[in-house]
Amino acid sequence: MTLLAVERIKLFTTRSPWWCALITLVLTIGFAALVVGNSNDQEIPATVASTQFGYAFGMAVIMVLAALAVTTEYRFGTIRTTFQAVPHRTSALLAKTTVVALLALVIGEVSAFGSWGVGKLLKPNADLALNSSADWINVAGVGVVYALAAVIAVAIGVLIRHSAGAIALLLIYSLAVESLVRLIPSIGDDIYKWMPFNVANKFLTGSGASNGSRAADAGSPMSTAVLGQGWSLAYFAGFAAILLIAAIWSANRRDA
């Protein structure tokens, strides 16, 4: 049995992934229904971007799922059994990260296209067709961002090893810290342009083409990142990779 199969079995035999997946779908699709359902053609028209308004809330849940996937093993001591069975810890952690990231990718795509589908159902006459690359990235790119966010969460889980601490750090940082950075006098806005989740948002929203004619007013808030969409994805992926490398290095140097 391969390491990927082992990690898949361990992940899906617990309840937390199922609950987190359900909560993610309810949050993202529910927000899409609220936003699109209350839109109107005169003042707040429904757009492709507005159907993805709740993706950040779903991403927060995905990071909880990913963090729990590793911290629960430290909590109950099963990580010791894993490392005894697979002395090459790097392989075990990479397998776990891959399985969690793939699950996050699937959940992200289902939630994104589900949100878009609800928008089409509620506003059949609105311009919600995926006619451009910007539209497709705004929807299909959610799964990619979720997968990379899951990698970040696994890395933080390995580094901290405690569920409460890892989850608190992830949620506080992604939902509050980056925005609060903008309050720093003189340099706050410049620092914020390079914060990882702000850059990830730039990958999804680009220049705002999927917002239709309302540009920055429709959908989730526009990113202030200075990178283009492709480079924004590369930057976010690089950030996730650096954290994962640091986590694996730490796991190899200390006791389980």
**pLDDT above 80 (res 212):** no
Task: Give the pLDDT score at 71.
Answer: 94
CB contact set of 253 (below 8 Å; sequence gap of 6+): none
What's the CA gap between 182 and 130, in Å, rounded? 33
Domain locations in the chain as residue ranges: 3-253
**pLDDT above 80 (res 56):** yes
Mean pLDDT of the 127-154 span: 93
Check if the beta carbon of residue 128 is closer than 8 Å to that of residue 48.
yes
Task: Give the pLDDT score at 216.
Answer: 47
DSSP assigned state of 40: B
Residue 23, both tokens: 């909560």
What's the CA gap between 28 and 30, in Å, rounded? 5
**How many C-beta atoms surround the C-beta of residue 177 within 10 A?**
13
Tell me what percent of the chain is helix, strand and coil, each rounded to the nearest 5.
Answer: 75, 0, 25
Instruction: State the DSSP H helix or E strand holding residue 56, giving kind and residue range, or none if neither.
Output: helix 55-76
Q: What is the pLDDT of residues 151-192, one digit of tens each?
A: 999 999 999 999 999 999 999 998 889 889 988 988 988 999
Task: Give the pLDDT score at 152.
Answer: 97
Point out the least confidently predicted range of 97-111, 134-148, 216-230.
216-230
Task: Give the pLDDT score at 213.
Answer: 46
Band (114; pLDDT cuts 50, 70, 90): very high
